[in-house]
């Protein structure tokens, strides 16, 4: 749920150990070459790993928040072409001697279980951190999970969180007109209120399968799941990570921009391959819409906002180190 650049942290650690890193920190999932344990030879396969957690979802509904967290992890693997294998968790809660906290813990576990059963993913380990309080107030119920996946044929790096000049932008998946539990709602003073959007796990699985197949087929130039911050933040993150702006439409209101409905992704598609991609989505019955074009040095959504890419990039990169009292990324 971090809506800022985390490279100030990740750049302080060696994430290129043994030179097996194909996709490093900052994207939807890390990807490593999988080498044979005895010979050290490349197997042609890759390991993908994502960690996810969202306390804002848990503060509204710990059960559905657990479901949404698993769904986000599945989508994070899909956009790098990986299928899920197994999950571990870290359940972070307040004082379990408080009845409401014990209820939150039980609900969160039930939500995680529902999603894991639906996706056929085993939970192979985890831990619980309890009695987390600040000034006598319990923390928000926060289930953090790590999902491991495999890329069956790692022939090239994943498309990554990026835009390509002149490419077409597609939004896959269904957007519920619901802002409860979203980053936008929290910024508006509505934290912990309302009702989280419904999660159709079968639909999430279908979208994830389609995205994975498109990535593996080499039909995608850039891909990013839509989660914290909604479609607007997904587009913005793709723009700042690639230095390419966008012009979008069909995002008419706040829910179109900032809803955090599960099972969605933004894809960046070469115009020459667009028809092939659309045909596959239509054949599979995947809800989708053409929302814009990548290019230029501005981030523009018709009728909503028009921002300079350089200004947004500087704010995104410097927010975390500035908040930690360490100046800017540039020093």
Contact call for residues 96 and 105 (beta carbons, < 8 A): yes
Contact call for residues 78 and 263 (beta carbons, < 8 A): no
- For residue 141, what is the DSSP state? P
Q: Check residue 331 and give its pLDDT.
A: 47
Residue 97, number of CB atoms within 10 A of its CB:
9
Cα distance between residue 290 and residue 248, in whole Å:
9
DSSP string across 217-228: TT--SEEEE--T
Cα distance between residue 328 and residue 312, in whole Å:
14
Q: Are strands 30-35 and 42-52 parallel, antiparallel or unpaired?
A: antiparallel
Please state the φ and ψ torsions of residue 100, each to the nearest 5 degrees: -65, -30
CA-wise closest residue to 224 among 259, 281, 265, 189: 265
Cα distance between residue 285 and residue 213, in whole Å:
14
Contact call for residues 223 and 266 (beta carbons, < 8 A): yes
Kind plus residue range of the DSSP H or E element containing 207: helix 201-216
What residue segments make up the domains of the chain, in order of their start? 7-316
Please, what's the largest Cα pairwise distance for the chain?
60
CA-wise closest residue to 80 among 213, 212, 172: 212
Please state the φ and ψ torsions of residue 117, each to the nearest 5 degrees: -65, -40
Q: What is the mean pLDDT of each run of 10 residues along the chain (331 residues)?
A: 80 83 92 92 95 97 98 98 98 98 98 98 97 94 98 95 98 96 95 93 98 98 97 97 96 94 99 98 98 97 95 90 72 47
Residues 88, 47, 267, 119: is their CA dihedral positive or negative?
Answer: negative
Cα distance between residue 162 and residue 145, in whole Å:
25
Please state the φ and ψ torsions of residue 297, each to the nearest 5 degrees: -120, 25
Cα distance between residue 90 and residue 84, in whole Å:
18
Q: Are strands 83-92 and 123-129 parallel, antiparallel or unpaired?
A: parallel
User: Helix axis angle, 99-119 relative to 201-216, nearest 10°?
Assistant: 50
Q: Is 168 helix (H, G, I), strand (E, B) or coil?
A: strand
CATH topology of domain 7-316: 60s Ribosomal Protein L30; Chain: A; (3.30.1330)
Cα distance between residue 114 and residue 34, in whole Å:
30
Residues 103, 104, 108, 114: is their CA dihedral positive or negative?
Answer: positive
Angle, CA of 85, 90 and 96, to the nearest 5°: 140
Cα distance between residue 231 and residue 54, in whole Å:
17
Cα distance between residue 236 and residue 210, in whole Å:
23
Q: Check residue 102 and give its pLDDT.
A: 98
């Amino acid at each position: 749920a971090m809506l800022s650049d985390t490279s100030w942290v990740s750049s302080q650690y060696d994430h290129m150990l043994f030179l097996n890193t194909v996709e490093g920190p900052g994207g939807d999932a890390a990807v490593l070459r999988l080498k044979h344990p005895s010979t050290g030879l490349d197997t042609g396969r890759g390991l993908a790993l994502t960690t996810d957690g969202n306390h804002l979802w848990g503060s509204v509904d710990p059960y559905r928040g657990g479901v949404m967290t698993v769904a986000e992890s599945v989508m994070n693997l899909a956009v790098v072409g990986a299928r899920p294998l197994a999950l571990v968790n870290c359940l972070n809660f307040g004082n379990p001697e408080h009845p409401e906290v014990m209820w939150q813990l039980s609900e969160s576990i039930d939500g995680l279980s529902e999603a894991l059963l639906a996706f056929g993913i085993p939970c192979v380990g985890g831990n619980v951190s309890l009695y987390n309080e600040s000034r006598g107030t319990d923390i928000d119920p926060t289930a953090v999970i790590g999902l491991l996946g495999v890329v069956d044929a790692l022939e090239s790096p994943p498309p990554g969180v990026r835009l390509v000049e002149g490419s077409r932008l597609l939004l896959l998946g269904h957007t519920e007109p619901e802002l409860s539990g979203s980053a936008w709602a929290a910024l508006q003073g509505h934290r912990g209120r309302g009702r989280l959007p419904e999660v159709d796990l079968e639909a999430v699985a279908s979208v994830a399968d389609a995205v994975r197949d498109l990535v593996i087929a080499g039909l995608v130039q850039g891909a990013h799941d839509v989660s914290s911050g909604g479609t607007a933040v997904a587009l913005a993150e793709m723009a700042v990570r690639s230095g390419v702006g966008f012009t979008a439409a069909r995002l008419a209101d706040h829910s179109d921009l900032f809803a955090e409905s599960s099972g969605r992704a933004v894809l960046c598609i070469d115009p020459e391959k667009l028809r092939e991609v659309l045909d596959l989505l239509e054949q599979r019955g995947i809800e989708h819409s053409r929302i814009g074009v990548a290019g230029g040095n501005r981030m523009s959504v018709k009728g909503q906002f028009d921002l300079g890419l350089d200004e947004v990039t500087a704010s995104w990169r410097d927010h975390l180190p500035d908040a930690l009292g360490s100046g800017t990324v540039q020093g």
